[in-house]
Structure 1
Amino acid sequence: MSWQNALACWIVRRRLRPETAKPEISVERARAYTSKRVWTPKVPRGWRLTPRYEPGDAPLRGEWLEADPPQQTTILYLHGGGYYFCSPRSHRTIVFALATRARARVFSLDYRLAPEHRFPAALDDAVAAYRQLRADGVPAQSLVVAGDSAGGGLALATLLALRDAGDALPACGLLFSPWTDLASTGASIRTNDGRDPMFFGASLGRAARLYLGDADATNPYASPLYGRFDGLPPLLIQVGDTEVLLDDSTRIAEKARAAGVAVDFGIWPKVPHGFQLCAPFMPEANRALEHAARFIQRTTAPSPVHRLPETSSV
């Protein structure tokens, strides 16, 4: 465990975890905290950041990170934040790091947030963004759908929705500590309660209600754990062993493999939720993103090899 990882765990345990013990979620407080505290990294040298936030920019409302010459691979990135806060700006560290390592251009989607826009608004926005990229001429085999936390669950739900609608699927999906079970049935909600530096397990149910409203928590487009996984592209899943969301990843990996999906699954010891956001500060985050970049390059190659490693602890 690096000292940078230890420091990150100490910070989130001290500053963020107490908020998750409160009986009610303050959406305004969460959004204000993120907007004030977020560290915005410099745009990597040789790359350009293009914000697109005008009303007419939808369905591709968000931020492009691109370099010259044009990259062959395009990543559609879906940020985390419990479906009710955070933004492409708050997740630039992970987007910048992933883009430069994979040599891929990234579109970070500014999907609509709850409670103003409940399920399925975020899913509708993600599907529409993917289809617009395809309409703009991006081949499915060079597309990647990725996300962290709620965005990781949204990325998987997007794959399910696209498959069910008959769309051409992307080359792969990247799921960083994905929130895939809004019904909170995983055992790690209890067994890692107290070990997780960022969350108390009970906070997940409160966040789920904000997003779902009256919708069924087991709807597979909200909680992809309850969906069918046959026909999905290769998946990369990374999660920390102390996370309350650990079982949201382990069960996905098991179900996907049982359905014949190639899965690259890594369990990282003693890292905070969404630790990839700590790049380039944290060595563990850098290693995780370098591994993810190699996965992207392998699966988007003209003749990708889908023989991927089994579950491993890092």
Structure 2
Amino acid sequence: MSWQSALACWYLRRQFRPRTLKPRINVEQARALTAKRAWSPRVPRGWRLRELYGANDTPLHGEWLERAEGAPAANSGPVVLFCHGGGYYFCSPRTHRSLAFGLATRADAPVFSLDYRLAPEHRFPAALDDATGAYRQLIANGIAPESIVIAGDSAGGGLALATLVALRDAGDPMPAGGLLFSPWTDLAATGASIRANDGIDPMFSGPAIALAGKVYLGDTPATHPYASPVYADLHGLPPLFIMVSSTEVLLDDSRRVADNARAAGVDCELEVWTKMPHVWPIFAPFIPEANRALDRAAAFVRRVTTHRDAAQPSSAMSMV
């Protein structure tokens, strides 16, 4: 564990976790604090940021990070559709640029960060509708499904997985893979790590998870497979790559998905990193472990978009 990672955990434990101990969620405060503290890295040399906020004539609401020489096109290499985290009620593509930029440059893949609608103004299934709509629009724009990886972190990781399930159920062509960073896949908060890692996780208290779920769900049951894909049948999904920390209250949200995916015959690799903060790749380039995690994530993107036909089901789990 690097000193940079230890510092990030120290900061989160003192500045973020105490807010998750409160009996109710203050959506407006969370959004205001995030906007105030959000750090946006410079656009990498040779790349450009193209914002599509307020584009009412397309399901692609968000921003592209793409090579400066042109927009993504068919057969031009991998493309990542990224769903940001934030409990479905705060954060945005802007708050997650460090992760998206780091992934794009390492994978040499344009990344579209989706600005999906947020709860409680737009409850389930608004985010899912936006994600499936964005994927379909990418295909309509000429990008081959086998070139696309759907990625996400935390709530966005759960959304990415739910999007794969919904696309399969609707008969859409499957993308090349799913990349999940500390995904939130069980809004019912039934995983054993919700209790076992409560007090160990530097960012979240265990009881806060179910509270956050209610903001997004409204009257929808927390076990709905499109909201909590840990309860979904995962057969027929493309390869999955999951990263999570050993100390997260959401650890079992990843472990159970990996077990379910493998049982369904899905190629799934799970990496459990030791004592990292929740979604530590977002701290790139400051945390060395974030840089290494993004290197591995980018390798997955390149692998599944280049050699998908050669992929074999995996039962790999590693501790990092």
* TM-score calculated relative to the size of structure 2: 0.96
Per-residue CA distance 1:244-268 (angstroms, 9 max, x = gap): 0000000000000011101111000
Q: Shift in Å at residue 304 of structure 1?
A: 4.6
- Pairing partner for 1:312 from 298, 302, 318: 318
Residue aligned with 1:300, SS = helix
Q: Shift in Å at residue 15 of structure 1?
A: 0.5
Counterpart of 1:299 in structure 2 is: 304
Distance 1:303 1:229, change over 3 A: closer
Contact 1:298/1:304, CA 8 A, preserved across alignment: no
Residue aligned with 2:130, SS = helix
Per-residue CA distance 1:132-163 (angstroms, 9 max, x = gap): 00111110010010000000000000000000
Q: Shift in Å at residue 55 of structure 1?
A: 4.1
1:122 aligns with 2:127: yes
Counterpart of 1:150 in structure 2 is: 155
Residue aligned with 2:131, SS = helix
2 CA distance for matches of 1:312 and 1:302? Answer: 22
Per-residue CA distance 1:84-129 (angstroms, 9 max, x = gap): 0000000000000000000000000000000000000000000000
Contact 2:182/2:251, CA 8 A, preserved across alignment: yes
* TM-score calculated relative to the size of structure 1: 0.98
Residue aligned with 2:310, SS = coil
Counterpart of 2:78 in structure 1 is: 73
Q: Shift in Å at residue 73 of structure 1?
A: 1.2
Counterpart of 2:194 in structure 1 is: 189
Counterpart of 2:219 in structure 1 is: 214
Residue aligned with 1:230, SS = coil
**Aligned residues between the structures:** 314
Per-residue CA distance 1:182-231 (angstroms, 9 max, x = gap): 11110000000000000000001110000000001010000001110110
Counterpart of 1:30 in structure 2 is: 30
1 CA distance for matches of 2:207 and 2:57? Answer: 37
2 CA distance for matches of 1:3 and 1:158? Answer: 36
Per-residue CA distance 1:51-71 (angstroms, 9 max, x = gap): 111242541010000004555
Per-residue CA distance 1:33-88 (angstroms, 9 max, x = gap): 01010111000000000111124254101000000455511100000000000000
Structure 1 runs not aligned, ≥5 long = none
Show structure 1 runs of 4+ deviating over 3 A. 68-71, 302-305
Counterpart of 2:4 in structure 1 is: 4
1 CA distance for matches of 2:23 and 2:309? Answer: 48
Q: Where do residues 205-284 of structure 1 align in structure 2 (5 Å cutoff)?
A: 205-284=210-289
Counterpart of 2:21 in structure 1 is: 21
- Pairing partner for 1:106 from 107, 111, 124: 111
Contact 1:77/1:147, CA 8 A, preserved across alignment: yes
Counterpart of 1:95 in structure 2 is: 100
2 CA distance for matches of 1:89 and 1:190? Answer: 32
1 CA distance for matches of 2:36 and 2:262? Answer: 41
Contact 2:176/2:308, CA 8 A, preserved across alignment: no
Counterpart of 2:73 in structure 1 is: none
Higher alpha-carbon deviation: 55-64 or 166-175? 55-64
Contact 2:78/2:305, CA 8 A, preserved across alignment: yes
Counterpart of 1:43 in structure 2 is: 43
1 CA distance for matches of 2:69 and 2:206? Answer: 45
Counterpart of 1:175 in structure 2 is: 180
Report the AA paired with residue 313 of structure 1: M
2 CA distance for matches of 1:254 and 1:56? Answer: 40
Residue aligned with 1:34, SS = helix
Distance 1:304 1:7, change over 3 A: farther
Report the AA paired with residue 119 of structure 2: A
Contact 1:298/1:305, CA 8 A, preserved across alignment: no
